[in-house]
Amino acid sequence: MRTVTVEEHFASPGFLDGPGRQLKERFQRSGSRGARIIEQLNDVGAKRVAEMDAAGIDVQVLSLNAPGIEQLEAVDQITLARNANDFLHGALKAHPTRFAGLAALPIAAPDKAAAEFERTVRQLGFKGALINGHTRGRYLDDKFFWPILECAMSLDVPIYLHPTRPPKAVLEASYSGFSPAVTEMLAGAGWGWHIETAIHLIRMILGGVFDRYPKLQIVIGHLGEALPFMLPRLDRNLARELTGLERSVGDYLRHNVHYTFGGFNFPATFLDLLLEVGASRIMFSVDYPYGSMAAARAFLDQLPVSAADRERIAHGNAEKLFNL
């Protein structure tokens, strides 16, 4: 069975000494595991391909590691995005059958971001873009960013909406008062990342993004960032009579959003997502190097779905969405 994973990360030269500095320092404090992650992030060559072969992964769709560039000044975003995308292009050229790419975009400068989006898709062969959450507290429902969304729709490629830390005010209000280690995990991978991404997507829906750009496709990870569990409740309490939207909230979540499960190898959570959105909206992922390729592949093989749906989740849905 062919397999494509679509939330797989890399670090370009200089990234871990720039916007990823805090991430690098945390890895360095965590011993051999952290050193291994840094090594894996920096490798987009033979070692990564060998690890893919060992786990039965045919293609990785690569993106710049969080926190990305979204919290930088616009001028720095522009420079680092182009450098990261050119670096990634080199990996795609070296391994064209094993890697595909998602662009980093300088979204603080939407005109420049749209131009870079066009360049990476039309000239470099990228398959979409990845945006790491808010930009200093501003979300994609803000019309300031809509030239980027319009560009995605015109290029007919998706945007992967990846988690980032909540804005400072939210961190202080909701996640402070604990030890630094607990706050970091609670605001991050333990809870905050996922709720932050869910709120971001809900803001996009309620802000009319998908009424303005009805063919726009968004990808979110972690089996839906808790949204499938809340989908019926959202539909009931944010009805069209209240929102003024053209469709129900659930309709946008079922027709403008795709879902991956990197790092969330949880059968019950997967079943909830499957029941709410169907197999045609779910894609295999590992969240490499944070997730294990072997564990993710084993989870895929054990999913309680038909053989046809397993093929869709393993590769078919990603091939269709990303035009692989």
pLDDT per residue as tens digits for the range 219-270: 999 999 999 999 999 999 999 999 999 999 999 999 999 999 999 999 999 9
pLDDT at 70: 96
Under 8 Å between Cβ of 245 and 205: yes
pLDDT at 29: 87
287 is catalytic: yes
Under 8 Å between Cβ of 84 and 125: no
Position 17 confidence tier, pLDDT thresholds 50, 70, 90:
confident
The residue-averaged pLDDT of 54-68 equals: 97
- For 97-142, write each residue's pLDDT tens digit: 999 999 999 999 999 999 999 999 999 999 999 999 999 999 999 9
pLDDT at 27: 85
46, pLDDT greater than 90:
yes
- Mean pLDDT estimate for the chain: 97
The residue-averaged pLDDT of 268-296 equals: 98
14, pLDDT greater than 90:
no
**How many other C-beta atoms lie within 10 A of the C-beta of residue 28?**
12
pLDDT at 174: 96
Position 26 confidence tier, pLDDT thresholds 50, 70, 90:
confident
Position 211 confidence tier, pLDDT thresholds 50, 70, 90:
very high
Length of the chain: 324
pLDDT at 147: 98
24, pLDDT greater than 90:
no
Token look-up 């000044």 returns 73
173, pLDDT greater than 90:
yes
To the nearest whole percent, how much of the chain has pLDDT over 70? 100
Tokens read off for 124: 């470099």
30, pLDDT greater than 90:
no
pLDDT at 23: 86
pLDDT at 22: 87
pLDDT at 186: 97
Which of 19-28, 35-44, 210-219 is the least confident region?
Answer: 19-28
- CA dist list (Å): 117 to 111, 130, 224: 10, 10, 25
Task: Give the CATH H-level superfamily of domain 4-322.
Answer: Metal-dependent hydrolases (3.20.20.140)
Q: Name the active-site residue from 17, 156, 287, 309.
A: 287
**How many other C-beta atoms lie within 10 A of the C-beta of residue 129?**
28
Residue type, 15: F
Dihedral sign for Cα atoms in the order 265, 130, 158, 133 = positive
The residue-averaged pLDDT of 56-72 equals: 97
74, pLDDT greater than 90:
yes
pLDDT at 121: 98
pLDDT at 128: 98
Domain boundaries defined on the chain? 4-322
